[in-house]
Structure formats: structure tokens, C-alpha cells
């Protein structure tokens, strides 16, 4: 396992190559660097990315604007490691907090290599209007509050699933039905699309334009019995 002290030398060399004077363990900071009259740079070193490292970085921002987190990345690191699994999320978190990010690649018989991922900078997240619109649309079209926040044992009940349940309920009550008749009976404007795509496997085509409920659809009505009751 990489020791934090092993990260110091490559990061120091990396900064010195850019004209910085570097000193370690200054007022509880792992590394402090300065170039001429520029503002100081603080770097906190950790074997791996962790919440503790983030907390340290936030604390150091009280002393300097330019704070970096340096994370050890061993050669051949497994894809299950946090750095490999959540790299994009780590980048997003550091941007949000205004923290810089350095990866120190170690091992594989090569000299340690420092890779700069982010520089400290004020951050304002760019709004995704499309996702925001979809969020509002789903909220407005969903009936009631069918899902408890957090982890659920059954799939999330979306507005689309509610419409599919409305169609399934009518087919269960009235038997095979033409799409046009089902659309009117269920009140679901997109009934034809829902049955033709059959995302959940709840419906079966018995003839041209005529559908019935599949065994999986009947099971769904039992699984979502409380939702069906609410929709009624």
C-alpha cells in the first residue's frame, strides 16, 4: 500500500519544475508551495480519495485560495477501486468545492507521475435545462406520492408506469381490447404506444390492433395493488 509520504516527493518535484519553492508540513499542511510573490499553494496528500481528504481540503481553504487534493493511484488499480468507479463524481465534487485535484501514479517499475486533473476555481454548475424539464414534467404527471424516498424493494413508480397500470387494469377488467377503445376507456392518451412498445412485458398482441394482459401483467397488478387502488 502506498504511504502518504511516498506522494510527497513526486508532487514536490512536479511543482518545483514549474518554478515553485516547496516545503512540507507547514502549519499542519502536508505541502505548501510558493512561486515569487504569488499566493501560496497548499496540497493535501492521501493514499486514496476519501471524505477525510475532502474535509482537510475545505479546512485549508480558510488559509489559501489554491488548495489541491493529491491522491495516490497505484498501477493496475482494480476497476472496483473508488478512483476508477467514481472518477467523474470525484471531479464534479472537487469543482463544486473549488478544490484542485492531482493524481499521483505510482508503481509498475516506473517513476511516479503526477497528473493534474483540476485547478482550484470558483464553480457554478451549468444547468441542464433538458433534465430540469424532464424532472418537472415527471413531477407534474405523477399521481400522488407512490414511492418512499431512498431504496425501494420494487421498481420506482413513474408517471409512465402509472399509465401502463391504468391500461393493465382496463384489460384485466374487460379482456382483450382494441387500442382505440382502450385509449378511451383508460383515459391514457399514449395507450397505443405503451402497449406496442411493451416496456415491462405486461401486454400481448392477440390480433391486429387488439391486445390482452400477459401473465406478467397480472402479476404486476398484484405487486402494485396499492398504486392501482390510488389510480382508481
CATH code (residue 15): 3.40.1350
114 & 133 share domain = no
- Quick: pLDDT tens for 104-123: 988 766 778 899 999 998 87
162 & 65 share domain = no
Instruction: Quote the mean pLDDT of the chain.
Output: 89
82 & 174 share domain = no
109 & 210 share domain = no
Quote the pLDDT of residue 76. 66
Q: How confident is the model at residue 28 (pLDDT cuts 50, 70, 90)?
A: confident
Q: Is residue 124 part of a domain?
A: no
135 & 90 share domain = no
Q: Would the pTM of this model clear 0.75, i.e. be above it?
A: no
Q: What is the mean pLDDT of residues 162-172?
A: 96
CB-side neighbour CA atoms (13 Å) of 151 = 1
107 & 87 share domain = yes
* Residues of the domain holding 180: 129-141+154-231
Contacts of residue 69, Cβ cutoff 8 Å, sequence gap at least 6: 43, 44, 46, 49, 53, 54, 56, 57, 94, 99, 100, 101, 102
DSSP collapsed to 3 states, 139-153: HHHCCCCCCCCCCCC
Whether the pLDDT of residue 221 is over 90: the answer is yes
102 & 19 share domain = yes
Quote the pLDDT of residue 1. 45
134 & 111 share domain = no
**Structural domains of the chain, count:** 2
Q: Is residue 146 part of a domain?
A: no
Q: How confident is the model at residue 131 (pLDDT cuts 50, 70, 90)?
A: confident
Q: Is residue 123 part of a domain?
A: no
223 & 177 share domain = yes
Which residue did the predictor score with more confidence, 85 or 209?
209
Q: What is the mean pLDDT of residues 90-98?
A: 93
Among 40-49, 75-84, 90-99, name the one with the lowest average pLDDT.
75-84
Amino acid at each position: 500500500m502506498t504511504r502518504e509520504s511516498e506522494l510527497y516527493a513526486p508532487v514536490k518535484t512536479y511543482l518545483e519544475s514549474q518554478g515553485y519553492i516547496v516545503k512540507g508540513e507547514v502549519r499542519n499542511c502536508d505541502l505548501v508551495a510558493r512561486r515569487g510573490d504569488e499566493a501560496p499553494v497548499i496540497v493535501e496528500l492521501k493514499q486514496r480519495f476519501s471524505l477525510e481528504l475532502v474535509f482537510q481540503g475545505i479546512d485549508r481553504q480558510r488559509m489559501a485560495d489554491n488548495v489541491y487534493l493529491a491522491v495516490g493511484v497505484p498501477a493496475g488499480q482494480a476497476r472496483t477501486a473508488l478512483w476508477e468507479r467514481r472518477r467523474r463524481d470525484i471531479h464534479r465534487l472537487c469543482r463544486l468545492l473549488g478544490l484542485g485535484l492531482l493524481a499521483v501514479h505510482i508503481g509498475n517499475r516506473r517513476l511516479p507521475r503526477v497528473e493534474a486533473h483540476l485547478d482550484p476555481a470558483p464553480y457554478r454548475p451549468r444547468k441542464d435545462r433538458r433534465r430540469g424539464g424532464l424532472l418537472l414534467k415527471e413531477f407534474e404527471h405523477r399521481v400522488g406520492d407512490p414511492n418512499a424516498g431512498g431504496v425501494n424493494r420494487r421498481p420506482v413508480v413513474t408517471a409512465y408506469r402509472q399509465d401502463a397500470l391504468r391500461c393493465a387494469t382496463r384489460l384485466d377488467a374487460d379482456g382483450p381490447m382494441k387500442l382505440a377503445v382502450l385509449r378511451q376507456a383508460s383515459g391514457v392518451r399514449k395507450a397505443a404506444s405503451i402497449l406496442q412498445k411493451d416496456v415491462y412485458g405486461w401486454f400481448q398482441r392477440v390480433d391486429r390492433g387488439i391486445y390482452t394482459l400477459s401473465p406478467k401483467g397480472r402479476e404486476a397488478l398484484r405487486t402494485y395493488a396499492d398504486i392501482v387502488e390510488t389510480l382508481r
